[in-house]
């Protein structure tokens, strides 16, 4: 069966922040449908899809909003149906919230802004064979914190030990980073953030000075995810 991907777009200001656009750049030729959950849009039936992607968001996972419940219900439904899920950043955190509870989420200390090196500490079909560590774009102020079994920690950075998670051996993965955002697009995003006066300026300037020429694991990870 050809993959049909439901992209759960968690952008609050969807005309300014377009996380689904970054994922679609890696999904050319794949049938996708995007639903913006924060807007209250109806979530289509899961039986129409083979895979689910959960995007990042400007929302904080620690400040509950009414639409959180709808997305959590979607996640639990997908798990019950054995539909593969991959969440990034906010989507990664929402997986933990939906399946284990909000008590396993916290503020990041410090926040990670810019590029980080992901050290893989466990083997997994989505990530085996990648450079270890691998570099990717990060931008988060919240994070998952030691979620209980059956979660398995697969990757960490210097400041966050739950950067890559898998829910037991189920096809459910969370990545705190943004591997879908290329270095070029990440630099544009950071400059855009500075233009609008958002914080943290010091972190963003440091990130721009130390941006790698490329970070390109997303195609490999997505190809393997769609093969599950």
Concatenated DSSP letters of 112-163 = EEEEEEEEE-S--TTTTTS-SSEEEEEEEEEEE--PPTTEEEEEE-SS-S-S
What's residue 204's pLDDT? Answer: 74
Number of folded domains that form the chain: 1
Chain segment 49-65, per-residue pLDDT in tens: 999 999 999 999 999 99
Which are the contacts of 111, defined by CB distance < 8 A and separation ≥ 6?
Answer: 140, 141, 200, 203
Q: What's the whole-model pTM score?
A: 0.92
Q: How confident is the model at residue 14 (pLDDT cuts 50, 70, 90)?
A: confident
- Here the CATH number for the domain that contains residue 99 is 3.40.50.880
| Residue 14, helix vs strand vs coil | coil
What's residue 198's pLDDT? Answer: 60
Give the range of the structural domain holding residue 124, as residue numbers without chain letter.
4-226
Highest mean pLDDT among 12-26, 93-107, 111-125: 93-107
Chain segment 95-116, per-residue pLDDT in tens: 999 999 999 999 999 999 888 9
- When mean pLDDT is compared across 114-123, 127-136, 211-220, the lowest value belongs to 211-220
Is pLDDT above 80 for 192? no
8 Å CB contact between 87 and 95: yes
What's residue 214's pLDDT? Answer: 65
């Amino acid at each position: 069966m050809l993959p049909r991907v439901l992209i759960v777009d968690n952008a609050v200001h969807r005309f300014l922040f377009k996380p689904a656009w970054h994922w679609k750049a890696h999904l050319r030729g794949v049938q996708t449908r995007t639903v913006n959950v924060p807007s209250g849009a109806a979530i289509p039936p899961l039986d129409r899809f083979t895979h689910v992607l959960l995007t990042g968001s400007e929302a904080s996972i620690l400040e509950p909003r009414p639409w959180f419940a709808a997305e959590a219900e979607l996640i639990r439904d997908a798990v019950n149906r054995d539909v593969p899920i991959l969440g990034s950043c906010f989507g990664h955190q929402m997986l933990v919230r939906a399946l284990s509870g909000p008590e396993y989420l916290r503020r990041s200390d410090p926040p990670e802004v810019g590029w980080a090196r992901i050290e893989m500490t466990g083997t997994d079909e989505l990530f085996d064979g990648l450079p270890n560590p691998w570099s990717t774009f990060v931008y988060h102020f919240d994070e998952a914190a030691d979620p209980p079994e059956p979660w398995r920690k697969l990757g960490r950075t210097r400041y966050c030990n739950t950067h890559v998670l898998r829910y037991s051996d189920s096809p459910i993965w969370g990545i705190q980073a943004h591997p879908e955002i290329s270095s070029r697009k990440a630099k544009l995003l950071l400059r855009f953030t500075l233009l609008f006066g958002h914080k943290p300026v010091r972190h963003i300037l440091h990130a721009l000075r130390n941006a790698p020429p490329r970070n390109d694991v997303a195609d490999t990870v997505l190809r393997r995810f769609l093969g599950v």
